[in-house]
Amino acid sequence: MMKYQSIPLAERLRPTSLDQYIGQEHLVGENAVLRRAIESGRIHSMIFWGPPGVGKTTLASIISKQVKRQFYVLSAVSSGVKEVREVFDRARMAPDTPILFIDEIHRFSKSQQDSLLNAVEKGLVILIGATTENPSFEVISPLLSRCQVYVLKSLEKNDLDKLLNNAVSVLEKDYGKKIELQEKEALMHISGGDARKLLNAIDLVVGMIYEANPEAEVLTITNDVTTQYIQSNLLKYDRLGEMHYDIISAFIKSMRGSDPNAAVYYLARMLEAGEDPLFIARRMLILASEDIGNANPNALLLANTCFDAVNKIGYPESRIILSQTAIYLASSPKSNASYMAINTAQEVVRKTGNLSVPMHLRNAPTKLMKDIGYSDGYKYAHDYQGNFVEQEFLPQEISGTRFYSPQNNPRENEMRNSLRNKWKEKYGY
């Protein structure tokens, strides 16, 4: 008879020491930098940056146990300045500096992150933040400068194998059955290097196999069985899973394809699933330049304003701003000329290396540089009619190479005519 377990398998298998911890050998392996710091007890405020399910929360908990400090846990999704201040009040009464762990710290607004700064500076708490987003963009500079950033990687196959073996051992005790892991590729694929997803998946699959045939002596896991049970139970948008990328891809392609209706639909899918509004705003900011560009330069301004506004006001009100921006971008004329221009230019740079800058374009801050010809012959455009004078700006070896090709839309047609009038036949405009 199966022994009922109300605690999720991932929680039951959560390691409590560095020796039990799986993965991140570059940080906590023998003689690794973070392990040495933990074992010495000399820990500092830090940010763990890595994908979901790689052990950020677990590692923070292990650190608190190792150094014997009080451990306060907050989630940036559900906590605000009030909850942070309550932790600070308790921290002032603690005998040793406690550890404050903030999950998804990138979801804290600037003002919320500001509230942490003073406490970290004064040593009231040791901050450990966890984020799936690049902290350089999502954590304010004053706070980031006071934290060491550690990058956690997706778990390797060997790490996932260890997790599966541990899971099988525990589940065999739960069900009183032998579990044969005949095939595991489907489980590995579903996990995507996320330990929590892997453990949730095998827990679900074993439970479904048992329910289908409780009298079986052996519960056999195959790829087909795994796929069947997972698909039947997880056919929904998962912001941390494979469908996440399908939905964001459909959202971007709908705007690129000038379909505002589809764009708003996929936007709604993401919002209803709990997607980070800033993630959506960031992707629209990229699209505004990559797919619209100079066909409508206002698109970039609106997308940037959208990102700032979403960051300031948060959800749910930001959904209206996201909708307005998505509709505008989808309805806007399109051009990827800027995107193609930088791709072509970078390709040329890789092939040709560091070509010499023409002498007349070189900076000449010293007399010696002027004497050897730096800046000699440079023509200051504003001294000439129309603020333009023809001269060579590219290295001699690639003179006349066109990187920017205006596309056929009103704004870029104007730009093409202007460039043709200036450069005549040089660039073929």
Q: Which CATH architecture has domain 242-331?
A: Up-down Bundle (1.20)
Helix (H) or strand (E) holding 231: helix 223-233
What average pLDDT does the segment 240-255 reach? 77
Q: Other C-beta atoms within 10 Å of 214: how many?
A: 12
| Neighbouring-strand partners of residue 74 | 102
CATH class assigned to 157-233: mainly alpha
Helix (H) or strand (E) holding 148: strand 148-151
Structure-token match 């599966």, residue found? 164
Residue 3 has what pLDDT? 55
Phi/psi-derived region of residue 123, left when phi > 0, alpha when psi is between -120 and 50, beta in every other case: left
| Neighbouring-strand partners of residue 48 | 130, 150
Overall residue count recorded for the chain in this entry: 429
CA dist 395 and 397 (Å) reads 6
Share of the chain above pLDDT 70, in %: 95
Residue 8 has what pLDDT? 82
DSSP state of 373: T
Q: Which residues of 58-85 are buried (b: 16+ CB within 10 A; e: fewer)?
A: bbbbbbbebbebbebbbebeebeeeebe
> What does the domain layout of the chain look like in residue ranges?
14-151, 157-233, 242-331, 352-423
Starting at the edge strand found earlier in the chain, the sheet holding 71-75 runs 71-75, 99-103, 126-131, 46-49, 148-151
Q: 349 falls in which pLDDT band (50, 70, 90)?
A: very high
393 three-state secondary structure:
coil
pLDDT tens-digit profile of 136-164?
878 888 999 999 999 998 888 899 999 99
Residue 192's alpha-carbon distances to 144, 157, 196, 200, 351, in angstroms, are 29, 10, 10, 13, 36
pLDDT of 426 above 50? yes
Q: 240 falls in which pLDDT band (50, 70, 90)?
A: very low
Question: β-pairing, 99-103 with 126-131?
Answer: parallel
Structure-token match 């300045």, residue found? 81
pTM equals 0.55
CA angle 255, 259, 263 (to 5 degrees): 55
CA dist 270 and 306 (Å) reads 17
Residue 305 has what pLDDT? 96
Helix (H) or strand (E) holding 180: strand 178-181
207-211, 304-308, 366-370: which has the highest mean pLDDT? 304-308
Residue 229 has what pLDDT? 80
pLDDT of 2 above 60? no
397 three-state secondary structure:
helix
330 touches 259 (CB < 8 A)? yes
Residue 136 has what pLDDT? 84
CA dist 164 and 184 (Å) reads 9
Domain 14-151 has CATH 3.30.9.10: no
pLDDT of 320 above 90? yes
User: Lowest mean pLDDT: which of 49-53, 304-308, 326-330?
Assistant: 49-53
Q: 270 falls in which pLDDT band (50, 70, 90)?
A: confident
Tokens in use for 262?
């589809």
149 three-state secondary structure:
strand
SS3 of the chain: helix, strand, coil, percent, to 5: 55, 5, 35
Same fold, 14-151 and 242-331: no
Residue 419 has what pLDDT? 94
Share of the chain above pLDDT 90, in %: 50
pLDDT tens-digit profile of 278-313?
889 999 999 999 999 999 999 999 999 999 999 888
| Neighbouring-strand partners of residue 179 | 219
CA dist 411 and 416 (Å) reads 9
Q: Which among 241, 311, 238, 230 is positioned nearest to 274, based on CA atoms?
A: 238
Mean residue pLDDT across the chain: 88
Structure-token match 């892991």, residue found? 181
| Neighbouring-strand partners of residue 181 | 221
Structure-token match 């330069």, residue found? 297
